Amino acid sequence: MKILIIDDQQLILLPLKKRLMSLGYEVAIESNAKNAFQSYILFKPDLVILDLNMPDVYGLDIVKLIRFHEKDLTPIMVLSGEEDEETILKGFELGINDYMKKPVSLTEVCKRVERLIGHDKLNLDKIYSQKSIIPKSCVGIVVPFFKVENKENIQNYVRFINQNIGCHLCFINVSGDIITQNFLNELRKSRESFISVFNYDFKISKSELLRLGMLHLSKHEDLDYIGFCDSQFINDLSDLEQIVKNLETQKFKLITGLRLNSNEISMVSGLLKESNKKMTNFFISRALGFNLKDSHSSIKFMDKEVVNIVFNKPFLTKSLFKVEIFLRLKNYFGVKKVSSIIQEYPLQKIVNKDRFKYSVVQSFKMVLLLFMINKSYK
């Protein structure tokens, strides 16, 4: 049994192909919608799986060519994030056999394929027990990686890649040591489509390396959203899923994580730090023109179009580049609009100790530096 999958996003094509091949199907993939009909003619599949919203060619036009030009009754399954009811009904009128709305379980897709064209006799229980979700949107994540604490951690990242179709991880080797470099290169082996690695050059600041990582991911045509986060963030997916959902369904261009407070500091030092933190955030909010509770959050995800606006030029500072992100957005969108396109999302699972030093001296230096960069952006 032969299956042709047509989708413009490689991050979805490759895992779906791998899973269907494990079921015994012969699978061909086509990421260029312009070549989709030609691939169909040459491959002569027993089933076509296609997306609707692709650049250059609309998915239903491919359905029309198969049904009316070729007068072929080959089963067609639509796998798409399209939510318009009229479009879905139009698809069935044109002759599609099944429609599945993203996000959808990869196991459910395989079961629907099995129902449409059958399968070879295999041990399907083991294959179906592997839980993965085909998302509506694809996400690129820049992850600063400081050191290899435990070599068993590689399994955590492998599990993340296997379970999260539609994610591309771009690791930044911040430590620059050879052990971490070898670890990340080993992790990337045979997963080149899902993992990128940037090794730290001490001539380049960490903020600059992160900026280059964001620009690198922005060149991936199959990504819808791009962000950066701590390595611990990807160990819990509940926050990531909700952040992406908010970007998909609401008008936000950027979502920044609002971290829970750590209880690892004493009451006295905690009160002093909190007081200094409120003071610095007050001046940051004044500079931005809108309120932010956690301007230094290291978790930020944004619409792909925002990446070039924010990261097209090197930042002026190393310590306040996260604040500069908001200043650049304010300059581009204007004071009135910028506050409506940014959301502070309260992180549900992560308690992240704030690494920024909120001593009186550090806070004063930060406010002075903020005044200088704000003047530059004006």
pLDDT at residue 4 in the model: 97
Tokens of 371: 């005044």
User: How do the domains of the chain map onto residue ranges?
Assistant: 2-128, 140-235, 249-378
The domain 2-128: what is its CATH number? 3.40.50.2300
Amino acid at 281: N
> What is the C-alpha to C-alpha distance for residues 310 and 329, in angstroms, rounded to an integer?
7
Which residues, including other chains, have CB under 8 Å from residue 66's CB and lie 6 or more apart? 37, 40, 48, 72, 74, 76, 95
Burial class (CB in 10 A: 0-12, 13-18, 19+), 367: middle
Contact 6, 33 (CB under 8 A): yes
Local structure of 345: helix, strand or coil: strand
Amino acid at 310: V
pLDDT at residue 264 in the model: 40
Which H helix or E strand runs over 100? strand 98-101
pLDDT at residue 148 in the model: 73
- CA distances, 257 to each of 192, 203, 211, 323 (Å): 28, 29, 18, 13
Which residues, including other chains, have CB under 8 Å from residue 354's CB and lie 6 or more apart? 259, 262, 277, 296
226 forms beta bridges with 140, 302
* pLDDT average per 10 residues of sequence, the chain (378 residues): 94 92 94 92 96 88 93 94 89 95 91 88 54 87 80 70 86 84 87 87 82 94 92 72 92 90 43 62 82 85 95 92 93 92 85 54 75 82
76 forms beta bridges with 48
pLDDT at residue 349 in the model: 66
313 forms beta bridges with none
DSSP assigned state of 232: G
> What is the C-alpha to C-alpha distance for residues 217 and 221, in angstroms, rounded to an integer?
9
Helix axes of 10-22 and 106-117: crossing angle, nearest 10 degrees: 60
Nearest to 120, CA basis, from 133, 129, 110, 105: 110
Inter-residue long-range contacts of 331-340, CB under 8 Å, 24+ positions, other chains counted: 331/377, 333/253, 335/289, 335/290, 338/288, 338/289, 338/290, 339/289, 339/290, 340/251
pLDDT at residue 159 in the model: 78
> What is the C-alpha to C-alpha distance for residues 228 and 289, in angstroms, rounded to an integer?
24
Amino acid at 69: H
Nearest to 342, CA basis, from 356, 327, 352: 327
The domain 140-235: what is its CATH number? 3.90.550.10
